[in-house]
Structure 1
Amino acid sequence: MTTLLNQTVLVTGANRGMGRHYVTQLLDRGVAKVYAAARDAGQIDTTDPRVVALTLDVTDAQSVAAAAEAAPDVSVLINNAGIVRGASVLGRDTSGLRDELETNLFGPLAMASTFADQIVAKRGAIVNVASVLAWLPVGASYGVSKAAMWSATDSMRLELAPRGVQVVGAYVGLVDTDMASFSDSPKSDPADVVRQILDGIEAGAAEVLADEMTRHVRAELNKPILERTPG
């Protein structure tokens, strides 16, 4: 893609955190419409007539199908919704990991497969928001879900690139949102992260590495894990 101008964009998890910044910045870039999707669509600000609130649970097949019927003109999909449980990968109770996989992996895959044909028709784009923890496994089960999303994003790109669709993997460390409130470590400004991702769409990028730590870890992937894990 070369511009977001006049595109129709669907953003999951649009009711808070980075999701709200996507909506605001997309409007600033002149999109025709933003489907702002969340489980509770009542939290979506629809003051701008270009914003359409969409009730969506990415883990529910019927909800995803209903969203596709309600939004038949989508040209850009931003898979932003995510959860964190951070359970031990050795825990006998796997419910936390399963929850993360449902939202962070299977949800984006369901959205991509459901909307793929219409995005292909418009030669549009799909963005999957992952994490530096896809490569730096200090996030326990959350990192597992994001590592799976990294692999799935690359596979998706191989399938969709020949059909004219740009697939962007977005990777970032801690971002100053409610999801990262558990940590006192330095965090990226969500508005800046979103700006980099939208710039990446318009630049035709395959990956967006949104902070210095992420860029460093990405460059160190040739090293064994114990040599690139902090502490």
Structure 2
Amino acid sequence: MLKLVQVDSGYGKKQVLHGVSLAVNPGEIAALIGPNGAGKSTVLKVIHGVLSLWHGEILFGGVSLAKTSSGDCVRLGIGFCPQGNRVFTELTVRENLEVGGFMLPKDDLKTRISEMQRIFPVLKAREKDYAGKLSGGEQQLVAIARALIPQPKLLLLDEPCLGLSARLSTAVFEKIAEVCDQTGVAILIVEQKVREVLEICNRVYSLKLGKVVFDGHPDELKNDKAKLKQLFL
């Protein structure tokens, strides 16, 4: 579904990614881990057209994303939840979901909102509440549901549990796994809560200084604490 081949990118003249190659298959959760500053968020931004591709190839369903904007990515079926950008606090929960489907016909949008409320019951219970009144975990569920409204084939999540307590993080991780199982959407997730994300992903990549230094099954790291520790040194 998604394939990156020897991708270079960065900010201004500063190169951050150096020959990054990875793949995400249909219906799977792939995790991208590594120390702070490794380039994990940069990978998501270059996939979604927020940053320019300097060198290499990014393919989605066989289509090149080399010169694709964020808007084009949404139309192609790639959703994105950026780090820390959870909700429009001054809008209600339902209005936040409506923003996610602004390109959909009215009846289709209504159907998609009902589907998200089925998967995330709290969004139905609190649909008339202002999103700013929700807990951090509930806000994150709103952000994920909003990104799912257009029915993406691939969802990019950038540290969805940033700043959340252990209890709320567990609830969010469980919902992410449930969403993948129920909708079939593929997910590429950047996350610092490594032990938790290893429990829900099918494949894991680790970055260090903008390079992929590990590519394998999560069990390889869950069963080898020394190797996991080495990836963050």
What TM-score, normalized to structure 2? 0.34
Larger helix fraction of residues? 1
What TM-score, normalized to structure 1? 0.34
If asked which structure has higher relative contact order (CA below 8 Å, sep 6+), I would say 2
Larger strand fraction of residues? 2
